[in-house]
Chains A and B, each alone.
Chain A
Amino acid sequence: MESNTPSAIISEAARAGDGWPLSKEPGVRYYTRFSAPQRFLHGFLAVTFLGLAMTGLPLRFSSTPWAMAMAHAVGGFGTILFFHLFNAVVLTVAFLIHVANLAYRIIRRREYGLVWGPTSMVPNLKDIQDFLAQIKWFFFRGPKPKFGRYAYWDKVDYWAVFWGMAIIGLSGYAMWFAPFFAKFIPGSWLNIALLIHGEEAILAVGFIFTIHFFNTHLRPDSFPMDLVIFTGRMTEEELKHRHPEEHRQLVESGELEKLRAEPPPRWLKNFGWSFGAAAIAIGFVFLSLMVVAFVKE
């Protein structure tokens, strides 16, 4: 990725015209963790996921007063459904681009590290060992495991989206194009499609708005927010403590300095704060509405 290089990040920030606060944090070194396309992918995912949740929940709990008020506010269900489908299409396109990009990098550029190894998203033995060690650590029975580039909960987050995309996406498109899908599946499966679509969506919303928010942002170590997904870079201190195994490997291989980055510009941090806070706020509002409606049901 061109935009991944430190020089690209520096020139990007220089264009933004922000005064580099290098002198304000003497001795603090930043390293790139996420490339610009990765950050944009997360952004697209976050926006469309919020969009889908905000339009899907009123449909799932359509008899609640807040759902009716929302439908009323935007001009009825037709509008809500339109935005639900619009977000679904955008998310589908982003997902397909991600998959195509992965396929290209694996097959054409032979980046097999994506498939297996310390920088891969594919779970391996170390993840199981880390998980067990983490449980021991929870109960004061051992040291904190030395996580690599992706901790096991990061991988759960990642594959949960894959699973969700497949299940929610397929069942959603099956209902959208019901007569077409009914050429291949019995119509009675469409009953199941709606059930699975709704329940899996509740799981996704419940997971993202509680577990993901806690694991990556709200837990004491990150509270109130981990900006790395917005700025793309973290301090050496953070890298060392959150991903000690990755840090050790980068130092050993001499790759670390290639990832050296300028401190994130203030506008980018502010953007991250605003975006993250808005996402968490919207998430909690809809989570509460959903929980109340689900329990009443």
Chain B
Amino acid sequence: MKWSTAAALSLALALNVFGARAPKSAECLACHDDKGAGFQASVHGSLSCTDCHSDKNAYPHQANAAKVKCDTCHAEPAGGVAASVHASVSRQACQGCHGEVHAILASSNPKSATYPTNLPRTCGACHGDGNLAKQHGLAEVYAKYMDSIHGFALTKDGLLVAASCFSCHGSHKILSKKDPASRTNRAHVADTCGACHAGPRQDYMAGIHGQGAATGNSRAPVCTDCHTTHQIASVRTAAWQMKTTATCGKCHQEQLQTYRDTFHAQVSALGYVETARCWDCHGFHDIRPPTDPKSTVARRNLQATCGKCHSGVTMSFISYQPHADRHNRQAYPALWGSWIFMNLLLAGVLGFFALHAVLWLNRSLAERRSSPAGGSTGK
């Protein structure tokens, strides 16, 4: 981009030098004074009017003057937009994001519409519009992003390292996530997020989820399957931690069901976050199957894993089954037997005394009818 701009400027200067009758910008402003105010301060302030309006170097202007084309100088960005999802948006695609054409500021200028902290609002001008989103079959992402950890960090805390729209979607050549070349395509999500989150990416790629995704397993989750896309919350908030078991359970339904029967789950459902949830035992990002010696739930590592919460963990203690299924007779015969016994006891005792109570009630009422003298007689 830089070299092409430089080349274009050189060309323009050359034309200015050798062009015999090129008018000064001041001459243009004699009529077009409304364009002058922002222009001097803009990124194009050092150019003269005719650098862009090259066919208006004479007065009166020649008829049928051509429209100014940004891609004369900015060929690469313009080419990107033309190949992007925004190609069909409008003829004024550049101004849509960069603002009024005579007042465009450099993206590095904090006042620029495309400065990272301002960019979400710029994109939100369209993408925060519910009707527009519906019309194009898009998710309403703006509000979600603004409430996310990225949105807060960028727009409230002013952290330039926080992800802005372009960090994930790119700037000019934004592609649909369905496009295999898109940075937000499932195949590239780990790399896109990993551009900033290098540590988690490395762990993820070592784990069973990353391994699966790398080999093209469409059921293996990528970053956004667990963390969501725009609504990403801080993993340190209780609100997010409360949801994690359900998140894992979207795929691991059976494990979620068996976890629900245990003490850990009963505790977690009621908002007590200091309890073992999926990732407390299985880890996160670097999740490995129990057969992998490096897994946190491999037998030889269980004492350490349980020991994170429980002090004095013995080998006997780790025979506890965090996913015991009382319905599974083969795998957990003692638990199954206890369950059957307790249910029989429950039904037997309550059933017996319920019958006893009904018969008693019937007999007492019959007695009352035969001797209506009062409640205390005939007891």
User: Which residues of A approach B to under 8 Å, CB–CB?
Assistant: 58-60, 62-63, 67-68, 71-72, 76-78, 80-81, 134-135, 137-140, 144, 153, 156, 175, 178-180, 182-183, 185-192, 194-196, 199-200, 202-203, 206-207, 210-211, 214-215, 219-221, 223, 237-238, 241-242
CB nearest to A182 among chain B residues? B317
Interface centre among A80, A190, A202 (most CB of B within 10 A): A190
Task: List chain B residues, Cβ under 8 A from A62.
Answer: 265-267, 269-270
Which residue of A185, A203, A241 contacts B349 across the interface (Cβ within 8 Å)? A203
Task: List chain A residues, Cβ under 8 A from B311.
Answer: 179
CB nearest to B324 among chain A residues? A191
Which residue of A72, A186, A206 contacts B350 across the interface (Cβ within 8 Å)? A206
Known pairs A179-B314, A220-B375, A241-B379; list 9 more (Cβ under 8 Å). Answer: A68-B271, A71-B272, A77-B270, A140-B366, A153-B356, A183-B314, A188-B334, A192-B334, A238-B379
CB nearest to B238 among chain A residues? A76
Task: List chain A residues, Cβ under 8 A from B357.
Answer: 210-211, 214-215, 219
CB nearest to A235 among chain B residues? B376
Task: List chain B residues, Cβ under 8 A from A58.
Answer: 270
Which residue of B267, B316, B361 contacts A187 across the interface (Cβ within 8 Å)? B316
Closest 8 CB pairs of A and B: A77-B272, A187-B320, A77-B270, A182-B317, A241-B379, A199-B342, A71-B270, A62-B269
Given A187-B316, A207-B350, A215-B357, do A67 and B262 touch, yes or no (CB 8 Å)?
A: no
Nearest Cβ on chain B to A263's Cβ, whole angstroms:
16
User: Which residues of B approach A to under 8 Å, CB–CB?
Assistant: 260, 262-263, 265-272, 274-275, 310-314, 316-321, 324, 326, 332, 334-335, 338-339, 342-343, 345-346, 349-350, 353-354, 356-357, 359-366, 368, 375-379
11 A-B contacts (beta carbon < 8 Å): A58-B270, A138-B360, A178-B317, A179-B312, A192-B338, A206-B346, A207-B353, A219-B360, A220-B368, A241-B376, A242-B379
User: Across the interface, do A195 and B345 meet the contact criterion of CB distance under 8 Å?
Assistant: no
Which residue of A139, A187, A219 contacts B317 across the interface (Cβ within 8 Å)? A187
CB nearest to B273 among chain A residues? A76
**Complex alpha-carbon distance, A153 and B359, angstroms:** 14
Task: List chain B residues, Cβ under 8 A from A206.
Answer: 346, 350
Nearest Cβ on chain B to A210's Cβ, whole angstroms:
7
Task: List chain A residues, Cβ under 8 A from B378.
Answer: 144, 241
Task: List chain A residues, Cβ under 8 A from B320.
Answer: 178, 182, 187-188, 190-191
User: Across the interface, do B353 and A78 meet the contact criterion of CB distance under 8 Å?
Assistant: no
Task: List chain B residues, Cβ under 8 A from A211.
Answer: 350, 353-354, 356-357
**Complex alpha-carbon distance, A214 and B338, angstroms:** 29
CB nearest to B334 among chain A residues? A192
Task: List chain B residues, Cβ under 8 A from A80.
Answer: 270
Nearest Cβ on chain A to B210's Cβ, whole angstroms:
31
**Complex alpha-carbon distance, A60 and B260, angstroms:** 10
CB nearest to B348 among chain A residues? A203
User: Across the interface, do A200 and B354 meet the contact criterion of CB distance under 8 Å?
Assistant: no
Q: Is the interface of B mostly helix, strand, loop or mixed?
A: helix
Which residue of B313, B356, B365, B376 contacts A237 across the interface (Cβ within 8 Å)? B376
Task: List chain B residues, Cβ under 8 A from A203.
Answer: 342, 345-346, 349-350
Task: List chain B residues, Cβ under 8 A from A67.
Answer: 269-270
User: Across the interface, do A185 and B335 meet the contact criterion of CB distance under 8 Å?
Assistant: no
User: Across the interface, do B266 and A60 meet the contact criterion of CB distance under 8 Å?
Assistant: yes
Task: List chain B residues, Cβ under 8 A from A207.
Answer: 349-350, 353
Nearest Cβ on chain B to A71's Cβ, whole angstroms:
4
Given A199-B339, A211-B354, A220-B361, do A179 and B313 touch, yes or no (CB 8 Å)?
A: yes
Nearest Cβ on chain A to B140's Cβ, whole angstroms:
28
Task: List chain B residues, Cβ under 8 A from A194.
Answer: 262-263
CB nearest to A238 among chain B residues? B376
Given A138-B359, A144-B378, A175-B263, do A191 and B364 touch, yes or no (CB 8 Å)?
A: no
**Complex alpha-carbon distance, A169 and B127, angstroms:** 59
**Complex alpha-carbon distance, A190 and B335, angstroms:** 10
User: Across the interface, do B319 and A221 meet the contact criterion of CB distance under 8 Å?
Assistant: no
**Complex alpha-carbon distance, A179 and B350, angstroms:** 34
**Complex alpha-carbon distance, A238 and B263, angstroms:** 48
Task: List chain B residues, Cβ under 8 A from A192.
Answer: 334-335, 338
Which residue of A135, A191, A242 contacts B321 across the interface (Cβ within 8 Å)? A191
User: Across the interface, do B271 and A77 meet the contact criterion of CB distance under 8 Å?
Assistant: yes
Nearest Cβ on chain A to B301's Cβ, whole angstroms:
15
Which residue of A71, A81, A140 contacts B363 across the interface (Cβ within 8 Å)? A140
Interface centre among B266, B312, B364 (most CB of A within 10 A): B266
CB nearest to A58 among chain B residues? B270
**Complex alpha-carbon distance, A190 and B346, angstroms:** 20
CB nearest to A243 among chain B residues? B379
**Complex alpha-carbon distance, A183 and B363, angstroms:** 54
CB nearest to B332 among chain A residues? A191
Nearest Cβ on chain A to B314's Cβ, whole angstroms:
6
**Complex alpha-carbon distance, A62 and B364, angstroms:** 40
CB nearest to B272 among chain A residues? A77
Task: List chain A residues, Cβ under 8 A from B377.
Answer: 241
User: Across the interface, do A199 and B346 meet the contact criterion of CB distance under 8 Å?
Assistant: yes
Nearest Cβ on chain B to A264's Cβ, whole angstroms:
16
User: Across the interface, do B342 and A196 meet the contact criterion of CB distance under 8 Å?
Assistant: yes
User: Across the interface, do B350 and A76 meet the contact criterion of CB distance under 8 Å?
Assistant: no
Nearest Cβ on chain A to B96's Cβ, whole angstroms:
46
CB nearest to B263 among chain A residues? A194
Task: List chain A residues, Cβ under 8 A from B334.
Answer: 188-189, 192
**Complex alpha-carbon distance, A180 and B310, angstroms:** 10
User: Across the interface, do A195 and B338 meet the contact criterion of CB distance under 8 Å?
Assistant: yes
User: Across the interface, do A185 and B316 meet the contact criterion of CB distance under 8 Å?
Assistant: yes
Nearest Cβ on chain A to B373's Cβ, whole angstroms:
12
**Complex alpha-carbon distance, A179 and B308, angstroms:** 13
Given A220-B375, A221-B364, do A81 and B353 touch, yes or no (CB 8 Å)?
A: no
User: Across the interface, do B265 and A219 meet the contact criterion of CB distance under 8 Å?
Assistant: no
Which residue of B265, B272, B376 contacts A78 across the interface (Cβ within 8 Å)? B272
**Complex alpha-carbon distance, A237 and B378, angstroms:** 11
Task: List chain A residues, Cβ under 8 A from B356.
Answer: 153, 211
CB nearest to B377 among chain A residues? A241
